[in-house]
Amino acid sequence: MPRKAFWSIALLALVATLLTPTTESSAQGTAATPRPAPEASDSSQGSFTARNQFAAVPARGLIMEQVEERFGVPEAKLPAVGDPAITRWIYKDFTVYFEDRYVIHGVVHQ
């Protein structure tokens, strides 16, 4: 078998393996049962599920005006520092980092 064909087949097998759902029941040959949804974390303890953490901050690429429209006025707008200029807006539950006027990162406070 040519080397290129071998790696193509190996890659397809790997992708198929990763995309195939696995549960204990499917390994035994019975119908798979859906897994229960993870429970929401108690935010008072400072922990978040991945879904909550990423839903709580502005998406990368939004402009400052869009962030302010969607999330309200921040508690603090810190001045730009460095080159390129990085600006921070601090909200109650998260901080948003901007380069120029575009969101580059959002961090949930713990």
What are the beta bridge partners of residue 31?
A: none
- Domain interval for residue 89: 46-108
- Report the pLDDT averaged over residues 12-36: 52
**Distance (Å, whole) CA 33 – CA 94:** 37
- Report the pLDDT averaged over residues 52-62: 80
Q: 85 pLDDT exceeds 90?
A: yes
Q: Evaluate whether residue 27 is within a structural domain.
A: no
- Report the pLDDT averaged over residues 30-53: 50
The closest of 57, 51, 44, 49 to 107, measured between CA atoms, is 57
Q: 54 pLDDT exceeds 80?
A: no
The predicted pLDDT at position 34 comes to: 53
Q: Evaluate whether residue 34 is within a structural domain.
A: no
What are the beta bridge partners of residue 78?
A: 88
Contacts (Cβ under 8 Å, ≥6 apart) of 64:
87, 89, 98, 101
Q: Evaluate whether residue 9 is within a structural domain.
A: no
- Report the pLDDT averaged over residues 82-107: 96
Count of the separate structural domains present in the chain: 1
Q: Evaluate whether residue 103 is within a structural domain.
A: yes
